[in-house]
Amino acid sequence: MGRVEDVIEPVAGLVAGGGVVVLSGAGLSTESGIPDYRGPSGATRRHTPMTYQTFTGDQLARRRYWARSHLGWRLIAQAAPNDGHRAVARLQRADLVAGIITQNVDGLHTAAGSRDVVELHGRLDEVICLGCGDRTPRLDLDRRLRLANPGFVGQAGAVNPDGDVELGDAEVAGFRTVDCLACGGLLKPDVVFFGEMVPAARVQSCFAMVERARLLLVLGSSLTVMSGRRFVLRAAKHGVPVVIVNQGPTRGDGYAQLRVDAPLGRLLPALADRLLDTSAAAPAGR
């Protein structure tokens, strides 16, 4: 792992030109208390994410998901942006960051003050009905689930990146789910489960953003799944330089002009300080 002091200058030199599109992953939110799947905070965990097929086709699995997510949501809702999120927002306000694509579903970029964030996989704080398409706030569902399960407390462990926690079968037994108030259909967090496709229009919007970028800056993603790695491949195809900052190797390392292994909560604030102390105005050459 490189010291922040050793790597800040080459990163700053590339970001200083502006036109940066950020692609963020779960590693950016670990310092907010939300562990990732594959990085240091998730290395010892064996949680298998819920798939769309299982959620829609297995009533018992769906009940287990909602019981675990009911507890996990409370932990996600309490999470606050960390210094890394706030630094990205600062760089965007200074017109160095032109766009943000996040694979995270925690809403922390927006909470930190970033604007027009493309949330590739949706948001946990919204719920969608698979029958009629009605969208409602997660807080409304939380109140309904509390009323339907007055004795449910559970012993919540560490929250997972997709917003649920580990619970034993005994704790799940008897948990009551609720359906859509408008049509009685199945409710689902408005996030993209494994096995579910990201809406095509959203993907195309992200592709266009990457193609217009002067630099793609990957923050806290192992790029293990194609959902995020495709943007690195698109950048490489169009000659857009790629910088990757992640703790641990990624599947995009071979495409990176610069690869940095450093804690984002330290590097990003240092990067913002380094660039904004020397130039509070828009970057030169834009």
CB of 244 closer than 8 Å to CB of 258: yes
- 221 assigned ligand-binding residue: yes
Given 70, 109, 121, 238, the catalytic residue: 121
- 114 assigned ligand-binding residue: no
- 204 assigned ligand-binding residue: no
- 151 assigned ligand-binding residue: no
- 53 assigned ligand-binding residue: no
Which of 237, 218, 238, 236 is CA-nearest to residue 228?
218
Which of 53, 130, 93 is CA-nearest to residue 272?
93
CB of 142 closer than 8 Å to CB of 125: no
- 4 assigned ligand-binding residue: no
- 206 assigned ligand-binding residue: no
Query: What is residue 265's three-state secondary structure?
Result: helix
CA dist., res. 64 & res. 258, Å (int): 43
- 82 assigned ligand-binding residue: no
Q: Is there a catalytic annotation at residue 238?
A: no
**Could you tell me which residues are beta bridge partners of residue 260?**
245
- 252 assigned ligand-binding residue: no
Tokens of 226: 């194609």
Residues placed in the known binding site: 103-106, 129, 132, 180, 183, 220-222, 246-248, 264
Catalytic residues: 121
Residues placed in the known binding site for NAD(+): 103-106, 220-222, 246-248, 264
Residues placed in the known binding site for Zn(2+): 129, 132, 180, 183
